[in-house]
């Protein structure tokens, strides 16, 4: 089985587990007045899980494309025979940076963690102009913090936890 079909199978398993949680466990603790609503907090996860399973089945059964055995993969598609030639190091470094960002978000604060994540991510991808990278990262993280904190009204600790602010 091709790599895309294995990934689709894992994706279907994930969506099935997510759907099980959405259909059978999320609504147990709803208060009685919310149980009569037509839209529950689990409505969107239910829709996402069903759509994910459908998309995964389309990929698993190969319904998304029709190609002959003799044809070479298109230049825009991933060639699984030459997977070692792609920039897997950059992708793995970005995934590692995302994990570090998730763990550093609370103790370091949103502004510091996000600025370091954006600057580090752009450095991993090859940007070397630090005089552009750092101000753009600062402005972007400040703008997102302002939108979440002030516009949406969701508390987001802007500074490191040790500062007590």
Q: Is residue 83 part of a domain?
A: no
pLDDT number for residue 131: 92
User: Do residue 12 and residue 48 come from a single domain?
Assistant: yes
Q: Whole-number mean pLDDT of the chain?
A: 84
Contact 27, 40 (CB under 8 A): yes
Residue 95 has pLDDT above 90, yes or no: yes
User: Do residue 94 and residue 152 come from a single domain?
Assistant: yes
User: Do residue 92 and residue 156 come from a single domain?
Assistant: yes
Residue 120 has pLDDT above 80, yes or no: yes
Contact 5, 61 (CB under 8 A): no
Tens digit of each residue's pLDDT (9 = 90 or more) over 35-56: 777 878 778 899 999 999 999 9
Determine the number of helices (DSSP H) and then strands (DSSP E) in the chain.
5, 0
Residue 102 has pLDDT above 80, yes or no: yes
Contact 93, 124 (CB under 8 A): yes
Which domain covers residue 113, as residue numbers?
88-163
User: Do residue 130 and residue 159 come from a single domain?
Assistant: yes
> What is 64-84 written as a DSSP string?
S----TTSPPPTTS--GGGGG
Q: How many domains does the chain have?
A: 2
Residue 158 has pLDDT above 60, yes or no: yes
Query: 79 φ, ψ to 5°?
Result: -90, 110
Q: Alpha-carbon distance 23 to 46, whole Å?
A: 7
Q: Is residue 79 part of a domain?
A: no
């Amino acid at each position: 089985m091709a790599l895309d079909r294995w990934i689709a199978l894992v994706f279907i398993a994930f969506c099935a587990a997510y759907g099980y949680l959405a259909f059978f466990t999320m609504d147990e603790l709803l208060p009685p007045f919310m149980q009569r609503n037509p839209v529950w907090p689990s409505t969107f996860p239910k829709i996402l899980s069903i759509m994910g399973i459908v998309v995964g089945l389309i990929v698993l059964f190969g319904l998304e494309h029709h190609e002959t055995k003799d044809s070479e993969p298109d230049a825009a598609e991933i060639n699984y025979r030459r997977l070692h030639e792609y920039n897997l190091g950059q992708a793995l470094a970005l995934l590692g940076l995302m994990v570090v960002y998730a763990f550093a978000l609370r103790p370091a604060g949103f502004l510091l963690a996000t600025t370091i994540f954006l600057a580090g991510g752009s450095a991993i991808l090859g940007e070397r102009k630090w005089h552009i990278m750092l101000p753009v990262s600062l402005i972007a993280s400040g703008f997102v913090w302002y939108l979440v904190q002030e516009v949406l009204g969701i508390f987001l600790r802007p500074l490191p936890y040790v500062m007590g602010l």
